[in-house]
């Protein structure tokens, strides 16, 4: 049975999609069978690895709203251990369309039920909001990774996110855990980055990943080439950071 991890933060620009894409690729090159689900209507996770996709099949919208069989929406990538369920702009309407459905918070769980045994890890890139799509992701997940950027207002809105997690634990998914809080866009030259990192550590204590994602030009450039950083420049700091993070997650899981 796979472990399902949602990457979520309702703030945009915190490195959520970057982390989803690069974690998925790092798992895959570590020969861990991985499925990446792009649950964001902006489709950035899809475009972030489009160089690895020859012919996209159906999208996550087809599976959740149109009832398309899950196996018919899984797209293989050039990495043997990585598959993706892509997103399209159709997903914009899904929040509204989900409202009228029975058991609306469990639609994604139903979609994944038939394929969970195929993968070791399923990573869900959530939209930057706490709407029904994110609720669907949290309801079917074993755990959640919360990326936080080392910049001003890093902790802003986190109370709302943690409250949502608690509500999901209480009413929808009692087994949901916080996998860890991931510090992103860290710049060791800036006092601000160090101050924010200390503030986040004092707030979350043992829930912080030891691995920190450092601000890195190659990491920022890679999506414009449709590649994860590991395939764009394997020696870059960003690519190495995510490989280290995978090692940390796998060692904690054993």
Q: Ramachandran region of residue 173, left (φ > 0), alpha (ψ -120 to 50) or beta?
A: beta
What confidence score (pLDDT) does residue 112 get? 96
Enclosing H/E stretch for 126? none
Q: Give CA–CA dist 219/230, Å, rounded.
A: 9
What confidence score (pLDDT) does residue 253 get? 64
> Biggest alpha carbon distance in the chain?
52
Alpha carbons within 13 A on the beta-carbon side of 99: 5
- Residue 1: band (very low, low, confident or very high) from pLDDT cuts 50, 70, 90: low
Digit-coded pLDDT (tens) for 41-60: 999 999 999 999 988 889 99
Mean pLDDT of 172-191: 93
| CATH superfamily, region 3-253 | P-loop containing nucleotide triphosphate hydrolases (3.40.50.300)
Residue 254 has pLDDT above 70, yes or no: no
Residues 4 and 141: beta-carbon distance below 8 Å: yes
Which range has the worst mean pLDDT, 30-39, 121-130, 151-160? 151-160
Give the strand pairing for 3-7 and 143-149.
Answer: parallel
What separation in angstroms does the CA of 91 have from each of 39, 213, 238, 254?
8, 29, 30, 36
Structural domain boundaries of the chain?
Answer: 3-253
Q: pTM for the whole thing?
A: 0.95
Residue 28 has pLDDT above 70, yes or no: yes
Residue 126 has pLDDT above 70, yes or no: yes
Q: What is the SS3 assignment for 146?
A: strand
Q: Give CA–CA dist 222/27, Å, rounded.
A: 17
């Amino acid at each position: 049975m796979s472990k399902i991890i949602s990457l979520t933060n309702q703030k945009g620009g915190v490195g959520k999609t970057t982390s989803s894409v690069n974690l998925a690729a790092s798992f895959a090159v570590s020969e861990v069978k991985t499925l990446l689900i792009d649950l964001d209507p902006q489709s950035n996770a899809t475009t972030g690895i489009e160089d690895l996709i020859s012919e996209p099949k159906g999208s996550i919208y087809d599976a959740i709203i149109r009832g398309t069989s899950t196996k018919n929406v899984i797209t293989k990538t050039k990495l043997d251990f990585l598959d993706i369920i892509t997103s399209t702009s159709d997903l914009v309407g899904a929040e509204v369309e989900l409202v009228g459905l029975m058991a609306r918070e469990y639609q994604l769980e139903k979609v994944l039920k038939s394929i969970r045994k195929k993968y070791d890890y399923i990573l869900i890139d959530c939209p930057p909001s706490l709407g029904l799509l994110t609720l669907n992701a949290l309801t079917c997940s074993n755990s959640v990774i919360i990326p936080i950027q080392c910049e001003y207002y890093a902790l802003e809105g986190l109370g709302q996110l943690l409250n949502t997690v608690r509500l999901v634990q209480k009413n929808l998914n009692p087994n949901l855990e916080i996998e860890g809080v991931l510090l992103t866009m860290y710049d060791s030259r800036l006092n601000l980055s160090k101050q924010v990192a200390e503030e986040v550590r004092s707030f979350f204590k043992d829930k912080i990943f030891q691995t920190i994602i450092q601000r890195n030009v190659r990491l920022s450039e890679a999506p414009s080439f449709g590649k994860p950083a590991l395939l764009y420049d394997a020696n870059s700091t960003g690519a190495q950071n995510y490989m280290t993070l995978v090692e940390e997650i796998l060692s904690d899981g054993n």
